[in-house]
Structure 1
Amino acid sequence: MHTSKQGRRDIPLAVVSLLIVFALVFVMIAMPNQSVAVANQLMYWCTTVFASPILLFAFFAVLFVIWLGLSKYGQIRLGEGGPDYSTSTWIFMFIMSGLGSSTLYWGFLDWAYYYQTPGLNLPAASPQALKYSVAYSFFHSGLSAWAIYALGAVAMCYHFHVRKNKGLSLAAIIGAITGRKPDGALGRLVDLLFMLCMFGALTISLVLTAITFARLLSMLTGIPDSFTTQLIIILAVSVLFTLSSWVGMDGGMKRLSQMVCWGVVVLAGYIYLLGPTQFITSNTLSSLGLMLSSFVDMSLFTDPMGDGKFTREWTVFYWLWWISYAPGVALFVTRVSRGRTIREVLLAMVMGGCAGIWCVYGVLESYSVHSFINGLINVPQVLSEQGGEVAIGQLLDLLPAGRWVMAFFLAVMAIFLAAHMDAVGYAVSATCTRHLAEGEDPSPIDRLFWCVMLTLVPLAMIFAKAPLNTMKTTVIVTAIPFALITLVMVYGLLKWLREDYGDVPAHQIGEQPPPEVASHQSGS
C-alpha cells in the first residue's frame, strides 16, 4: 500500500464538515436546555415515524446476508492475490472498527436496563424480565447488527476491489451505481452526512469511555475524577491512536487490534474461570437459545396495542445506531479485505462478530446477573442511583485480585478506544481523499490532521459539559438517509453481480474473472 498524493485532498469537504461540527458544538454549549429539548423531539419523531421501516430493514439485512452467503456469488474473490492479513488479525481489525470502547461498559450493564425496562410487554423487574435481559442484549448486538454492517461492507468491497472503481467513499460508490459524479451535489451531501455522523458517533464513544475511565481510576487510586483527569486520559489515548495512524495499518492498527482482542479474551477468561463458572455457562447458553427462538418476535415487535416505548427507545434506536456506523465500517473492511471472498467476509463479519460479542457479553453480563441475584451487588439500583461506572467498579472489585483486574480493565479500555479511533480516523481521511485507488492509503499528514480534529470535539464537549444526548440525536438523524443509501448500495451490488457473474456457472466462479469483469476493468 502506498499513500495518496496531497493534491487529492478534498479541502472543501473537510472545511465545511468541520465548520458544521464546531457550529453544532457551539450551539450545544451556548443553549444546552434548548438543544436537549430539540434533540428529544427529533429522537422521538425519528424513532416513531420510521419504527416499522427500520425494523423491516434490519430483518431484511439478515435474510439478504444469508442468501448471498449461500449463493454462488459467495465464491467471488474481492481482488487479486491472497489476503493481506491472517484470518484472526483480519477479524480482530474489523471488530475494532465496528465496536467502540464503550462495549466494555455495556458488557457489564446492558442486561440491567432490560431488566428495568423489558421488551415484549414483560413486567418490569420480574423473573421473566430477568430471564430475557441477557437474551435482549444478545439480540441488539447480534445477527441483525452485524448483517447491517455486512450489507454496506460487501457492496463497497465489490465496488473497490472487483469493479476497480476509484474512490473509497460513499459518494464514489453511489456515483458508480447511479452514474452521477461523486463531486456533484448529491455526492457532496452524502459524504458530508458521513463526516458529521462519524464525528458524532466517535464523540459519544470517547466521552463515555473517558467518564468511565476517570471514575474507575478514581476508585482505584484516589485521583480526583475531574475535567483535568478526563483531559489527560483523552490526550493519552489520542497520542496512542495518532502514533498508530502515523505508523500505518500494518504496524499500528493491526497491533492495537490484536492487543485489544486478546486483552478482552484474557479479561473474560479470568472472570469465567475465577467467577461463577457454572452459572455463567448455563445463563449464557440459556440466553442464546432464548434469543434465537424469539428472534423473529423480537425483530418485528412493534407493540401495536401498547405505547411502543421499548421498541422506539431500544430496538429502533439500536438499529439506527448500527446503521450510522455502517458506512465507516464498510470503508475500513474494504481496506483490509482484499483477497477474501464474499462468503469469507460475510461469515467473518456476522458469525465472527456475533460469536465474539456473545462470548464476551455472556461472561460479563452473567457474572453481573449472578452478583445481583445472590445479593452481592444490586446492579440495577447502583446503576440508577450512582451510575454505571460505580457498578462496574464494584463488580470488578469483587473478583480475586480485584484491584489488579480493574487496572487491567482500564488498560484494555484505553487501547480499545485508540484502535477504534484509528479505524474511524482512517475512514474519515479516506473520504476526504479524492479518487483513492486500490493499493493507496490517505497520506500520513491527512490521517494526523483528522486524529487531531477527532480529539478536539470530545474535549470541547467534556469541558463545557455539553449535553451528550444532543450529539447522539445527530448520529441517529443521519442514520435514516444512510439506510436509504445502503439500499442503493445493495441494488448496485445485485446489478453488478448479475452483469458480471449472472451467466457464469457456480463451479467457474473464483477461477478467473468473467469477460464482463475483465472488460470493465480494462476500460476503467
Structure 2
Amino acid sequence: MRGNTIDKQILSIALALVALLTVPILINPEKGTAFLKTVLNTITINFGPLYLWACLGIFGFLLWIAFGKYGKVKLGSGKPEFSTFSWLALIFTAGIGSGIMYWGIIEWAYYYSSPPYGLDPLSVEAASFASTYGMFHWGFSAWAIYCVPSIPIAYAVYIKKHTSFRLSTACRGIIGDRADGIVGKIIDICFMFGLIGGIGTSLALGTPLLAEGIHHLFGVEKTLTLNLGIVVSLMVFFSICLYFGLKKGLKLLSDWNLYLYMAIAVFIFIFGPTAFIVASFSESVGVLFQNFFRMSLYTDPVGKSGFSESWTLFYWGWWFSYAPFTGMFAARISKGRTIKSLIIGQLVGGTLGCWLAFAIFGNTSMFFEITGLVPVLDILQNEGAPAAILASLNALPLGGIVLVLYLLVAAIFLATTVNSAAYTLSDVASQNLQAGEEPARWYRVFWGILLTSISIVLMYGDGLEALQTLSVITALPLVFIMLLMIASFVKWIRVDYDTIIQEQENAVTDCSHSEEEQVPVEKKRKRSDKAPILSKTRFEN
C-alpha cells in the first residue's frame, strides 16, 4: 500500500471533532447532555417539517428516476462484482445493524401504550397502528433516505470517472472544483461527524441488549465492566474482519448473518403464532398504504403529543446521519448495476428485510402480551426493553436456543455495521486511491478501533444518550448536502444521458457481433481441418 493514500488534513480535523465531542461529555455528562437536548428541541421545533418533507420528496424522486428513462443507465461496465444475494446482504447488514433486532421485537409496545392521533392506549385502534408504525419507520421512507446518496456517488465514480467515493465528489456537478477545497472538506467532515453519531446510536441500543442476554444466560451482573467487555470483544472481532477486507471479511460475515436471521424468522413463523402473524401483517400493510401520507407528514401542532418528535423525527434524523455512509458503501459494491436495479434493490429488498422483523418478531411479542402469555408491557416498564425482548423469546418453543441465536445475530449485525462504517470512514479519509483499491489494512482497523473507543469513553461518562441526541442534530446539515447531491446528479445526467445510452447500445452491439463472428470462424476451422484429409485420400486413390 502506498504511503501517500492517507488524507492527513481530513484525518486531523475528524480526530479534533471526536475530541471536541467526547471530552466535554466525559467531564460533565449532565450539562453536556442537557445542552444537546436544548439544541435538539430547537431543531425539531423549527426544522421538524423540513425532515418530513425532505424524506417524502426523496422517495418521490427515486420513483421518478427508477421508472423513468434515466433508470436504465448502467453504472459502470462489466458484470456486477457480487451476486444479488451477497449484494443485498451487504447493504442490509451495513445499513440496519442490531437496531432491527432491538426495535423489531419491542417497538410496537411503545406505540400500543402511547399511540398517535389521540387514540386510546391499549385499544384495538392503538394495536392496529402499533404493528404498523414500525414498518413505516423502517420501510420505504427509511430506505429512500439510505438509497438516494448512492446514486450520485456511483454516477460520479463509474460514469464521470472520478476516483473518490466522497460526498464532495458527488456534489461536483454544482460546486465544481470547490470540491477539492474548503467547501469539499466541510461536506466530507459533516458526513464523518454524522456517521459517528449514528454509530453511537447503534452501539447504545445493541450493547445493553447483549448485556441483558449474557446476564440472563450466565447470571453475570449487569455493570459498566460487562458493557465495556462486550464492546472490546466486538472490536477485536470486527478488526479481524476489517483486516481481511471487503470480499473475504465483510461479504462472508454479511452472508452468514442474513442466513441466520432468516432461519430464526422462519422458525418463529412456523412454530410461533402463525395465524396471528399473517393476519396482523396483512392488516398492517393495508393500514400503512391507507395512511402513508398522513404518517409521513404527521406533526400534531394542536395536540402537541410529541409523538412525531420522539419517533418519526428521531428515526429520520438517524437515517439521514447514516445515509451518506450507506450510500458510499452501496455505491462501492454496485458497479455494473443499472440505476433502476440499485433503487429497487434497496427500496424493496431493504424494506422487505425490515418488515420481516416487525411482521414475525414484533407480532409474536404482541400476541404474547394480548393473550397474557408474557406481560411484555409490565416487563418493559419495570425492567426495560432488553428484558422484555428476552422474555418474549423465552416464551417460544426451544426458547433458550432461539434466544442464543438471536443474540448472536444481533452481535454480528452490530459488528458488520461498525465494520462497514470503519471501512467507509477509512475510504473517505484516504486520497489518491486507484480504481478498485481498498484503504490500507491498518487504516481500516484504526477506524474500527477509534469508533469503539468513542463508545467506550461515552459509556464510561454516561454520555451515550447525548450521542443518540447528536445523531439527529448532525443530520440537519446532511439534509441540505443530500439535496445538493441530487441537484448535481440531475445536472450531470441530463447532459450525459444521450451519450451514455449510445455507448451502452454500442457495447451491446459489439458484443453480439463478436459472438456472431465466432461461428463462421469455427466452421472454417473445421473445413480446413478436413481438407487435407480429403486431398490426401484422393491422391492415394
Classify the TM-score, shorter chain: over 0.9
Paired position in structure 2 for 1:100: 97
Paired position in structure 1 for 2:479: 483
- Answer with 387-396 or 233-242: which moved more: 233-242
After TM superposition, the structure 1 = structure 2 runs for residues 36-47 of structure 1, keeping only pairs within 5 Å, are 36-47=33-44
Is 1:351 the counterpart of 2:337? The answer is no
Paired position in structure 2 for 1:25: 22
Paired position in structure 1 for 2:133: 136
Report the 3-state secondary structure (helix = DSSP H, G, I; strand = E; otherwise coil) of the residue aligned with 1:168: coil
Deviations 1:366-407 (CA, angstroms, capped at 9, x unpaired): 001100100122222221221011101111111112111111
Q: 2:497 aligns with which of 496, 501, 523?
A: 501
Matches of 1:159 and 1:323 in 2, distance apart? 20
Matches of 1:201 and 1:420 in 2, distance apart? 10
Matches of 2:499 and 2:75 in 1, distance apart? 19
- Please tell me whether the aligned partners of residues 263 and 412 of structure 1 are also in contact (alpha carbons under 8 angstroms): yes
Output the amino acid matched with 2:75.
L
Paired position in structure 2 for 1:492: 488
Q: TM-score, normalised by structure 1?
A: 0.93
Paired position in structure 2 for 1:205: 202
Judging changes above 3 Å, is the alpha-carbon distance between structure 1 residues 84 and 27 closer, same or farther for their aligned structure 2 residues? same
Paired position in structure 1 for 2:227: 230
Paired position in structure 2 for 1:267: 264
Deviations 1:140-169 (CA, angstroms, capped at 9, x unpaired): 111111111111111111111111112111
- Answer with 239-248 or 167-176: which moved more: 167-176
Query: Tell me, which stretches of 5 or more residues in structure 1 are unaligned?
Result: 515-524
Q: CA deviation at 1:208?
A: 2.3
Is 1:511 the counterpart of 2:505? The answer is yes
Matches of 1:305 and 1:510 in 2, distance apart? 54
Paired position in structure 2 for 1:196: 193
Output the amino acid matched with 1:287.
S
After TM superposition, the structure 1 = structure 2 runs for residues 53-452 of structure 1, keeping only pairs within 5 Å, are 53-307=50-304, 309-452=306-449
Judging changes above 3 Å, is the alpha-carbon distance between structure 1 residues 435 and 122 closer, same or farther for their aligned structure 2 residues? farther
Output the amino acid matched with 1:298.
M
Q: CA deviation at 1:6?
A: 2.6
- Please tell me whether the aligned partners of residues 143 and 350 of structure 2 are also in contact (alpha carbons under 8 angstroms): yes
- Please tell me whether the aligned partners of residues 47 and 313 of structure 1 are also in contact (alpha carbons under 8 angstroms): no
Report the 3-state secondary structure (helix = DSSP H, G, I; strand = E; otherwise coil) of the residue aligned with 2:505: coil
Deviations 1:41-95 (CA, angstroms, capped at 9, x unpaired): 1111111111222111111111111111101111111011100000010001011
Paired position in structure 1 for 2:534: none
Deviations 1:276-309 (CA, angstroms, capped at 9, x unpaired): 1110111111111111111011112222332151
Matches of 2:201 and 2:357 in 1, distance apart? 22
Q: 1:460 aligns with which of 450, 457, 466?
A: 457
- Please tell me whether the aligned partners of residues 238 and 419 of structure 2 are also in contact (alpha carbons under 8 angstroms): yes
Q: 1:474 aligns with which of 470, 473, 486?
A: 470
Output the amino acid matched with 2:310.
E
Output the amino acid matched with 2:52.
L
Output the amino acid matched with 2:101.
L
Output the amino acid matched with 1:146.
W
- Answer with 324-333 or 222-231: which moved more: 222-231
- Please tell me whether the aligned partners of residues 157 and 334 of structure 1 are also in contact (alpha carbons under 8 angstroms): yes
Matches of 2:231 and 2:84 in 1, distance apart? 31
Q: CA deviation at 1:509?
A: 7.5
Matches of 1:236 and 1:196 in 2, distance apart? 25
Q: CA deviation at 1:231?
A: 2.3
Report the 3-state secondary structure (helix = DSSP H, G, I; strand = E; otherwise coil) of the residue aligned with 1:79: coil
Matches of 1:239 and 1:402 in 2, distance apart? 29
Quote the RMSD (CA, aligned, Å): 1.8
Matches of 2:358 and 2:2 in 1, distance apart? 43
Paired position in structure 1 for 2:526: none
Q: CA deviation at 1:437?
A: 4.3
Report the 3-state secondary structure (helix = DSSP H, G, I; strand = E; otherwise coil) of the residue aligned with 1:440: coil
Matches of 2:470 and 2:500 in 1, distance apart? 45
Report the 3-state secondary structure (helix = DSSP H, G, I; strand = E; otherwise coil) of the residue aligned with 2:148: helix
Judging changes above 3 Å, is the alpha-carbon distance between structure 1 residues 354 and 333 closer, same or farther for their aligned structure 2 residues? same
Matches of 1:238 and 1:176 in 2, distance apart? 38
- Please tell me whether the aligned partners of residues 75 and 509 of structure 1 are also in contact (alpha carbons under 8 angstroms): no
- Please tell me whether the aligned partners of residues 72 and 509 of structure 1 are also in contact (alpha carbons under 8 angstroms): no
- Please tell me whether the aligned partners of residues 260 and 415 of structure 1 are also in contact (alpha carbons under 8 angstroms): yes
Deviations 1:239-266 (CA, angstroms, capped at 9, x unpaired): 1211111101110000010111111111
- Please tell me whether the aligned partners of residues 265 and 360 of structure 1 are also in contact (alpha carbons under 8 angstroms): no
Q: CA deviation at 1:492?
A: 0.9
Q: CA deviation at 1:504?
A: 7.4
Q: Higher Cα Rg: structure 1 or 2? A: 2
Query: Tell me, which stretches of 5 or more residues in structure 2 are unaligned?
Result: 509-541
Matches of 1:79 and 1:120 in 2, distance apart? 47
Output the amino acid matched with 2:426.
S
